[in-house]
């Protein structure tokens, strides 16, 4: 019987409500929840394909334990696994003190999971060595809000985005990263064409499609830009003097600083036209309401805190906060990055928006928990924490719901640290991640659709997460794993005392936790699961007497600081640290793709999510290709001061000369090497400790590998992937991806200096099932060229080309067509491998994932004179989730320019 369960999407911080369609065992489909106030029924390409992800063969299903370094892990039962974990943690704490262990957790945990982890670390273990991947994500915004406004609270609602007259989208590619919110903005702009939208991003992203003005600033120059805008606002008198006088402090100091940021100087630093700067300042200064949206382009910087506060300065100077359509609105990345901040899941925070460094806060929480005291020393933040592991100070490390061996900067150090750590526990839903490789104990976690609790989205709205089906294998929900560890540790650390972890459900955790928000800025102490079920998702603070959430903060112009005034922060612009030089003449920028999520443990199991961008690549401006004598698609070696990577290069007009872009998604599983973060810097912002993931100095050089490999194989994709990835480790370059929709296939592109030996090839063929059966074979050992194609029931099911791969795209098209022909057989017998009709072009991208419409069909439609509506009605593209619409509009406008 099919049932529907309402829950929340597990990807981005928009926090869309989903309706999960399922039977007793399986999730069958996903729809947007029309009743959810974040999305009103919409979903993006990732949310709409949730049911296609989560291949069981990629999941962690049983606890696995390694009994000594160098040995393989073997299956064990939960009791043995947890007994062992508690014994090692207990012993390490007893021998080396509480700060010899650490917890590294995630913005994708639920509030209840977070709370259990925090209580475990602070109250039981007595360490502040608990940090989360939000350190790589939102910690600069936390500092910005706290020091400028007094509390870590995004003051706006999604409705403010729709109501605003002027929006500044800065360092955010919301068309890809917060798509449903972008759909809402597109609709608002269509309804209200006078709305002004400014996008500030070094790249011309799809988000720019909606912009009246795109400022392609030089990387890292945002502080100068904001000061430059303020300079003009001051000069023109576009300030709210009364607001400044009555509700803020520190303006005089800022005024003195900003005097130097003349339009001339700022346009030079930012690499933008003075006219454009003037128009942007005019749009902001004269708008009835002004709202800013930002994300990683500001936060992930050694000046992340300065960027956040300099932006908030603009709102304070114009009084554009606390009113409809106004305010500084940071977009949170992960589905529960907010919940992490609320429950105190950064080393320097405590539950209820409290501070580790504040003795009164520590006492309040200790009293609530019924323990004598909480540790007052400073805990380690993410980068410092892994450095502590590398230096041997941390001897037991617990990692949950994050993949640091892919996502942390300077991967060489991270891999060294994980390899050296005496005991690494990884609590994971998918066994395929780079970090799982280092787990001495792998604990299978229940994941989306299988676990229950709550999350808070970017607009402070708390939604329920509900389970639809049972977790596979022996996987358990995160909160239960934590409480199991805690009760076992209590037997060692607090023998004979009543348990602090007497929780039998996520609800029990939520009910204890919410009490810690009482009297704090985020107060939702009276909001129960039952109330959320009754009233729908609610925004904090939640007013108990009115039974109502709060849509907008600071409407009374009072701020949660000592004197009730907001603070201007006067900090100079400091250039990002790895400026271009002769050795590293390009600045590497990194970020998201539309259809992939981080390390791809989940999205990387759905073949159709590879249709938009198929494989790892580095994008450069065409001029930078030309000057290096590079051609599109060629392999290059990319080097930074820390490491190197080999991948294909792509000519991309969206990138400015002197810059480069690599999506953040590909780690060691999908690409030979340590992934993009082998290149990035561990340097961090002095206050937020958030690393500078968006800027690194690199150089790019051609590499030529005479021997090439191309593989396409259907069936058992995940198992084959793991085995083949290992087999390809000895090659210089190897890139993996998936293709197809109904019949998913694994794709491999690889290259090497010379042909591998016959044994290697034989093993390859056996992993591909190409060693026997209905296989066409052509070998020219003299030239090290080999071709294998398996044909079953009249269609190709596997391809392997070695030596030279010119026919790969053509063969792939034959595979996709599901038919074979005489041409294929003729080509097979020919000594040359060039496909019939010569070299075929690049692979045709799928722009519209929902309706499976390729770029070439859209292009052909445009050539026939179709406009957006024509394309929609004839081809169906862009009619479902709408994620592809900005790109289609881009093609349309380029076609117009070409005419």
Ligand X SMILES: Nc1nc2c(c(=O)[nH]1)N[C@H]1C(S)=C(S)[C@@H](COP(=O)(O)OP(=O)(O)OC[C@H]3O[C@@H](n4cnc5c(=O)[nH]c(N)nc54)[C@H](O)[C@@H]3O)O[C@H]1N2
CB 335 within 8 A of CB 178: no
Site string for Mo ion, 261-300 (x = CB under 5 A): ----------------------------------------
Partner from Mo ion, ligand X, ligand SF4, none contacting 677, C-beta within 5 to 8 A by type: ligand X
Residues in Cβ contact with 500 at an 8 Å cutoff, skipping those fewer than 6 apart:
119, 123, 124, 369, 370, 371, 486, 490, 494
Site residues for ligand X per CB under 6 A: 12, 46, 106-108, 133, 136-137, 170-174, 176-177, 200-203, 205, 217, 219-220, 222, 295-297, 300, 333-334, 400-403, 406-407, 427-430, 433, 445, 447, 451, 478, 589-592, 594, 596-599, 601-602, 664, 676-677, 680, 693-694
Q: Which stretch binds ligand SF4 (CB under 6 A): 140-148, 178-186, 207-215, 376-384?
A: 178-186
Half-sphere CA count of 411, side-chain side, radius 13 A: 23
From the list 6, 16, 130, 337, which residue makes contact with ligand SF4 (rule: CB under 6 A)?
Answer: 16
Render the burial of 195-224: b for 16+ CB within 10 Å, e for the rest. Answer: bbbbbbbbbbbbbbbbbebbbbbbbbbbbb
> Nearer to ligand X by C-beta: 19 or 600?
600
Single residue of 54, 144, 179, 379 touching ligand SF4 by CB under 6 A: 179
In three-state secondary structure terms, 330 is strand
Q: Is 198 in the site for ligand SF4 (CB under 6 A)?
A: no
Q: What are phi and psi of 572, to 5 degrees?
A: -75, 155
Q: Does 11 bind ligand SF4 (CB under 6 A)?
A: yes
Partner from ligand X, ligand SF4, Mo ion, none binding residue 131, C-beta < 5-8 Å depending on class: none
- Which single residue is written with the structure tokens 């050795």? 583
How near is the Cβ of 362 to ligand X at its closest, in Å?
28
Q: How far is the CB of 885 from ligand X (least distance, A)?
A: 15
Report, in Å, the least distance between residue 789 CB and ligand X.
34
State the residue for tokens 């554009």: 320
Q: Using CB distances below 5 to 8 A depending on partner kind, what does residue 804 bind out of Mo ion, ligand SF4, ligand X, none?
A: none
Residue nearest to ligand SF4 (CB): 47
Minimum distance from residue 411 beta carbon to ligand X (Å): 10
Nearer to ligand SF4, 11 or 158 (CB): 11
Among 47, 352, 663, 756, binds ligand SF4 (CB under 6 A): 47
Instruction: Count the neighbouring beta carbons within 10 Å of the beta carbon of residue 495.
Output: 7
Is residue 177 within 8 Å of 295, Cβ to Cβ? yes
Q: Which is nearer to Mo ion, 319 or 333 (CB)?
A: 333
Cα-based distances in Å from 895 to 80, 205, 376, 863, 891: 64, 18, 62, 8, 6
**Per-residue mark of binding to Mo ion, 303-342 (x: CB under 5 A):** ------------------------------x---------
Using alpha carbons, list the distances in angstroms from residue 392 to 383, 422, 470, 500, 633: 14, 9, 39, 30, 43
Residue from 622, 480, 594 nearest 110 by CA: 480
Name which of ligand SF4, Mo ion, ligand X, none residue 15 binds, using a CB cut-off of 5 to 8 Å depending on partner kind: ligand SF4
Please say which residue, 126 or 660, places its beta carbon nearer to ligand X: 660
Residues 645-664 that bind ligand SF4 (CB under 6 A): none
Q: What is the per-residue burial (b if ≥16 Cβ within 10 Å, else e) of 759-789?
A: eebeebbebbbbeeeebbebeeeeebbbbbb
Binding-site partner at residue 675 among Mo ion, ligand SF4, ligand X, none, CB < 5 to 8 Å by type: none
Residue 850 found at the interface with ligand SF4 (CB under 6 A): no
Q: According to the 3-state scheme, what is the secondary structure of 16-50?
A: CEEEEEECCCCEEEEEECCCCCCCCCCCCCCHHHH
Residue number closest to Mo ion, CB atom: 333
Between 132 and 797, CB nearer to ligand X:
132
Which part of the chain contacts ligand SF4 (CB under 6 A), choosing from 39-47, 314-322, 430-438, 522-530?
39-47
Q: Which residues make beta-bridge pairs with 749?
A: 710, 735
Residue 429's binding partner among Mo ion, ligand X, ligand SF4, none (Cβ under 5 to 8 angstroms by kind) is: ligand X
> Which of ligand SF4, Mo ion, ligand X, none binds 397 (CB below 5-8 Å, type-dependent)?
none
List alpha helices for 302-403, DSSP H.
304-318, 337-342, 359-369, 382-390
For residue 403, the Cα-to-chain-centroid distance in whole angstroms is: 11
For residue 169, state whether it binds ligand SF4 (rule: CB under 6 A): no
How many residues are there in the chain? Answer: 899
For residues 108 and 289, which CB has a smaller minimum distance to ligand SF4 in the complex? 108
Residues 843, 864: Cα–Cα separation, whole Å: 22
Q: Which of 6, 44, 225, 671 contacts ligand SF4 by CB under 6 A?
A: 44
Q: Indicate whether 9 belongs to the interface with ligand SF4 (CB under 6 A).
A: yes
Backbone angles phi, psi at 367, to 5 degrees: -65, -45
Q: Which of residues 107-126 bind ligand SF4 (CB under 6 A)?
A: none
Q: In 408-544, which ranges are E strands? A: 423-428, 441-444, 453-456, 461-465, 538-539
Q: Which residue reads 């929900």 in tokens?
A: 477
How far apart (Å, rounded) are the C-alpha atoms in residues 885 and 259? 42
3-state secondary structure of 226: helix
Q: If contact means CB under 5 to 8 A according to the sort of partner, which of ligand X, Mo ion, ligand SF4, none does residue 402 touch? A: ligand X
Instruction: Tell me, residue by residue from 128 to 157, as one string, x for binding to Mo ion by CB under 5 A and - for no binding.
Output: ---------x--------------------
Q: Token digits for 156? A: 């706006």
173 touches which of ligand X, ligand SF4, Mo ion, none (CB within 5 to 8 A by kind)?
ligand X
Give the DSSP per-residue string, 149-170. Answer: HSSS-----HHHHHH-SEEEEE
Residues of the shown chain interacting with ligand SF4 in the complex, contacts defined by CB under 6 A: 9, 11-12, 14-16, 39, 43-44, 46-47, 178-180
Residues of the shown chain interacting with Mo ion in the complex, contacts defined by CB under 5 A: 137, 333
């Amino acid at each position: 019987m099919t049932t529907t369960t309402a829950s929340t999407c597990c990807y981005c911080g928009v926090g869309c409500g989903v309706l999960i369609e399922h039977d007793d065992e399986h999730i069958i489909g996903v729809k947007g929840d029309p009743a959810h106030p974040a999305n009103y029924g919409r979903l993006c390409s990732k949310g709409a394909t949730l049911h296609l992800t989560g291949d069981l063969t990629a999941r962690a299903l049983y606890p696995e334990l390694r009994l000594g370094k160098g040995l393989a892990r073997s299956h064990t039962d939960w009791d043995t696994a947890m007994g062992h974990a508690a014994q090692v943690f207990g012993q390490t704490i007893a021998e080396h003190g509480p700060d010899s262990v650490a917890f590294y957790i995630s913005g994708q945990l639920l509030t209840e999971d977070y709370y259990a982890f925090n209580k475990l670390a602070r109250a039981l273990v007595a360490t502040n060595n608990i940090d989360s991947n939000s350190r790589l994500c939102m910690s600069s915004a936390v500092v910005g809000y706290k020091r400028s406004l007094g509390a870590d609270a995004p003051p706006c609602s999604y409705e403010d985005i729709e109501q605003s007259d002027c929006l500044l989208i800065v360092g955010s590619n919301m068309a890809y990263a917060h798509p449903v919110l972008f759909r809402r903005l597109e609709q608002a702009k269509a309804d209200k064409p006078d709305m002004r939208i400014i996008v500030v991003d070094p790249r011309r992203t799809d988000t720019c499609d909606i912009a009246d003005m795109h400022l392609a600033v030089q990387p890292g120059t945002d502080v100068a830009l904001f000061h430059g805008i303020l300079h003009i606002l001051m000069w023109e008198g576009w300030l709210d003097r009364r607001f400044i006088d009555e509700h803020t402090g520190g303006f005089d100091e800022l005024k003195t600083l900003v005097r130097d940021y003349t339009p001339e100087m700022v346009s030079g630093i930012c690499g933008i036209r003075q006219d454009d700067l003037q128009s942007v300042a005019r749009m902001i200064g004269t708008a009835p309401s002004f709202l800013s949206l930002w994300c990683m382009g500001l936060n992930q910087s050694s000046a992340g805190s300065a960027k956040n506060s300099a932006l908030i300065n603009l709102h304070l100077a114009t009084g554009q906060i606390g009113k409809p359509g106004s305010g500084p609105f940071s977009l949170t990345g992960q589905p529960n990055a907010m919940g992490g901040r609320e429950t105190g899941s950064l080393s320097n925070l405590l539950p209820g928006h409290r501070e580790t460094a504040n003795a009164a806060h520590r006492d309040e929480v200790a009293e609530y928990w019924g323990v004598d005291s909480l540790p007052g020393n400073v805990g380690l933040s993410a980068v410092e924490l892994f450095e502590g592991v590398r230096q041997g100070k941390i001897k037991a490390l617990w990692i949950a719901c994050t993949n640091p061996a892919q996502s942390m900067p300077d991967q060489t150090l991270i891999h060294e640290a994980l390899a050296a750590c005496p005991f690494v526990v990884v609590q994971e839903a998918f066994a395929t991640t780079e970090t799982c490789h280092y787990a001495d104990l792998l604990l299978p976690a229940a994941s989306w659709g299988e676990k229950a609790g709550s999350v808070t989205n970017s607009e402070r709205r708390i939604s329920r997460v509900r389970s639809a089906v049972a977790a596979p294998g022996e996987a358990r929900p995160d909160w239960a794993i934590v409480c199991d560890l805690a009760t076992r540790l209590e037997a060692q650390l607090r023998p004979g005392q009543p348990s602090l972890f007497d929780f039998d459900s996520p609800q029990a955790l939520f009910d204890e936790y919410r009490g810690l928000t009482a009297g704090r800025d985020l107060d939702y102490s009276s909001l129960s699961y039952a109330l959320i079920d009754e009233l729908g998702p609610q925004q904090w603070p939640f007013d108990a007497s009115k039974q109502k959430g709060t849509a907008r903060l600071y409407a009374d112009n009072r701020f949660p600081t000592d004197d009730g005034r907001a603070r201007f922060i006067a900090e100079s612009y400091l250039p990002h640290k790895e400026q271009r030089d002769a050795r590293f003449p390009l600045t590497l920028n990194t970020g998201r793709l539309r259809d992939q999520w981080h390390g791809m443990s989940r999205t990387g199991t759905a073949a159709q999510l590879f249709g938009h961008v198929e494989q790892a690549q580095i994008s450069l401006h065409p001029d930078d290709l030309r000057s290096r004598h590079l051609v599109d698609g060629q392999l290059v070696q990319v080097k930074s001061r820390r490491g190197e990577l080999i991948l294909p290069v792509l000519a991309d007009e969206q990138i400015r000369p002197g810059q480069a872009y690599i999506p953040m998604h590909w780690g060691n599983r999908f690409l030979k090497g340590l992934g993009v973060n082998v290149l990035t810097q561990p340097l961090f912002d002095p206050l937020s400790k958030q690393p500078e993931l968006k800027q690194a100095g690199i150089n790019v050089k051609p590499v030529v590998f005479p021997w090439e490999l191309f593989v396409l194989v259907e069936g058992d994709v995940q198992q084959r992937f793991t085995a083949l990835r290992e087999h390809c480790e000895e090659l210089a370059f190897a890139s993996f991806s998936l293709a197809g929709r109904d019949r998913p296939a694994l794709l491999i592109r690889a290259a090497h200096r010379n042909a591998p030996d016959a044994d290697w090839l034989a093993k390859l063929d056996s992993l591909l099932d190409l060693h026997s059966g209905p296989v066409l074979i052509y070998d020219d050992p003299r030239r090290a060229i080999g071709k294998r194609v398996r044909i079953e029931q009249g269609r190709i099911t596997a391809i392997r080309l070695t030596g030279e791969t010119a026919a790969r795209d053509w063969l792939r098209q034959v595979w996709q067509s599901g038919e074979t022909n005489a041409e294929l057989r003729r080509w097979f017998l020919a000594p040359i491998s060039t496909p019939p009709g010569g070299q075929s072009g690049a692979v045709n991208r799928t722009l519209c994932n929902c309706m499976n419409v390729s770029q070439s069909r859209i292009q052909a439609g445009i050539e026939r004179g179709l406009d957006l509506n024509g394309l929609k009605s004839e081809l169906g593209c862009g009619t479902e989730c709408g994620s592809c619409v900005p790109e289609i509009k881009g093609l349309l406008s380029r076609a117009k320019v070409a005419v």
